[in-house]
Chain A
Amino acid sequence: MAPGTTAAGTAPGAPGPAPHAALEAQIDQWRGYVRRREAISAADVDEMEDHLRERVEDLRATGLDDDEAFLVAVKRMGTLDDLSREFAQEHSERLWKQLVLVGEQPTGRTRSWRELAVVLALAVATGAAVKTATTVLDEQTVALNVGLLVLPFLTAYLAWKRQVTARVVGALVVPFVVLGAVLNLYPFEPTGSTLVLAALSAPVTLWAVVGLAYVGGRWRSDPRRMDFARFTGELAVYYTLLALGGGVLLGLTAGVFSLADVDLEPYLENWILPLCVPGALVVAAWLVEAKQNVVENIAPVLTRVFTPLTLVMLLAVFVVLATAGNLAAVDRELLILMDAILVLVLCLLLYSVSARDPLAPPSFFDGLQVALVVAALAVDAVALTAMLTRIAEFGVSPNKAAALGLNLLLLVHLAWSAVLAVAFVRGRRPFADLVRWQTRYLPVYAAWAALVGVVFPPVFGFV
């Protein structure tokens, strides 16, 4: 420990608004720990969390403080290794060796088969919806509604899986209806940029609705939100894997067919792709639900590989931008590119945060992460200056306003993340603060997407 640092982990200025904030953070960390065990499912963690909280409550009633009560309660819960061994014995189906949930055990079977049936039915329905839409509607309308065609089925699967209450079902249906009305009733100019913005922002807004279904309506819960962030990343990985596998399979089939002078391409374009590409999303979601721990092991590896690489990329970008001369003349695409870079950095940050052991001490990698975020902020500062000069010169357009707004949101997110990460590396704040900042901030993006999709078109006259 460096001279001058206090033994206490928290800075004097660290906020502590809620009465049991520290306890809540500890319980969250514990959840994260337990959650990482392959053999212990999310529902089991819920069950044990309820137990832990009751135990803490009772211990506090005997005069222990939060910290002591938590320690005793966790100790009484048993070591994680023993616990997960015991769970693994009882729930061998959860271990990664069996890829699909249809297990050997007699009672879990009906539920697993039913789930498989539901998943396949929803996947087919998704494909059918997209296929019908591409047949009946013109391309632009389909592109505008793609989120509305695909995501209700994914939402339905998650809502079914979580057995949500009627109120939550209502909260899930309303956004789909509202957004459907907005997208299809607004008098958009056919080639206007507000149309493109609405089409781009709709899936983001709807993804928040998917999240609401994923967390079973308990949207206030930080750990659940983090679970949803993990789910999103894992879904992307699974979807990519499915797409790669499907691509190889189709390529081989097409090769053999062409030898026999049968052309697969018309079927591919008209049937296989419109049916399978959307349907695979539901299947991928099911796989994440069934086997999330497989990918949880990949996510940290991916972030560790790409964090240094992205840092190198950012430094190169910075050098190029700084030596480019007159930045006011750079292409307007730059703003969108900068947003893409910041989103990438943010995803890296989010996934390494979500996969990191919250109780582990700061390591070299955490320092690297801080460097990455700071480099991204530096690059963005240069680009943003250029953009503001451009906007001052040529005025505001819906595209610029949307991209600039997103840029500012990302900037705030990353800047405060950098502050918290530095404080963590210096031992001033617990890692949980950084985690909480991530989960608290995420809904802001959905709100901004809703704003861009719903408010921008009338404000800018649907151009």
Chain B
Amino acid sequence: MRIDKDLVAASATPLVLGILADGESYGYAILKRVDELSGGRMQWTDGMLYPLLHRLERLGYVEASWGTSDVGRRRKHYAITVAGREALVERQEQWGVVADALQQVWKTAQDGLAPPPRDAEGWA
């Protein structure tokens, strides 16, 4: 199953912030973590992570610093800031509301979902 790309985009910020809340990390490690967490089902275009990280840096949610990897390459590390943690809490609440609403919709729509109603086609 592939996740719709809009959904991936919407969840990217809280995911990255959440992963960084666990401790400082860098681009490739963050992507690997996303891979693990989603069982490989959330496929990001690798390069897209970096503009996102830079946006979070610009917004002050993360702090970046250059270090070196164990083989001596330059590597940019990111750490979450206080503002980032606050933003994460806020996002968590937002996603809680969304997930809650979806749960209720799934429950009520359970019966109607199995054979899709014919007159709903026009809404697709």
B98 at the interface (CB under 8 A from A): no
Q: How far is the CA of A54 from the CA of B27 in the complex (A)?
A: 10
Residue of A77, A105, A163 touching B46 (CB-CB under 8 A): A77
Residues in chain A near residue B41, CB distance under 8 A: none
Q: Are the CB atoms of A48 and B50 closer together than 8 Å?
A: yes
Residue of A nearest to B58 (CB): A107
Partner of B51, one of A54, A90, A108: A90
Bound CA span A91–B66, Å: 19
Complex interface: stretch among A78-86, A186-194, A245-253, A415-423: A78-86
A44, closest chain B residue (CB) = B50
Residues of chain B within 8 A (CB-CB) of A47 are 27, 50, 74-76
Nearest residue, chain B, Cβ from A34? B47
B60 at the interface (CB under 8 A from A): yes
Complex contact B46–A51 (CB within 8 A): yes
Pairwise interchain contact A48-B47, C-beta atoms closer than 8 A = yes
Contact A77 B54 (CB under 8 A): no
Contact B58 A105 (CB under 8 A): yes
What are the residues of chain A within 8 A of B60 when measuring CB–CB? 107
A100-133 interface mask toward B, CB cutoff 8 Å, 1 = contact, 0 = none?
A: 0000011110000000000000000000000000
User: Across the interface, do A90 and B69 meet the contact criterion of CB distance under 8 Å?
Assistant: no
- In this assembly, does A97 line the interface, its C-beta being within 8 Å of a C-beta of chain B? no
Of B28, B66, B74, B76, the contact of A55 (CB 8 Å cutoff): B28
Cβ B48 vs Cβ A50 within 8 A: no
Main secondary structure of the interface of A (DSSP, over half): helix
Most chain A Cβ neighbours within 10 Å, of B46, B55, B60, B66: B46
Whether the pair B27, A51 counts as a contact (CB closer than 8 A) is: yes
Is the pair B28, A50 in contact by a Cβ cutoff of 8 Å?
A: yes
Proximity bits, B4-33, A CB within 8 Å = 1, else 0: 000000000000000000000011100100
Closest A residue to B73 by CB, please name it. A50
The proximity string for B residues 65-99 relative to A, scoring 1 for CB distances below 8 Å and 0 otherwise, is 01001000111100000000000000000000000
Residues from chain B with a CB closer than 8 A to the CB of A91 are 51, 54
How many Å lie between the Cα of A79 and that of B50 in the bound state?
A: 14
Q: How far in angstroms is the closest Cβ of chain B from A219?
A: 14
- B47 and A77 within 8 A (CB): yes
Is A53 among interface residues, defined by CB-CB distance under 8 A?
yes
A87 in contact (CB, < 8 A): yes
Instruction: Determine the distance from Cα of A82 to Cα of B51 in the docked complex, in whole angstroms.
Output: 11
Name, among B45, B55, B66, the residue most crowded by chain A CB atoms within 10 Å (CB to CB). Answer: B45
Smallest CB separation, B68 vs chain A (Å): 10
Closest 5 CB pairs of A and B: A78-B45, A78-B47, A90-B51, A86-B51, A83-B47
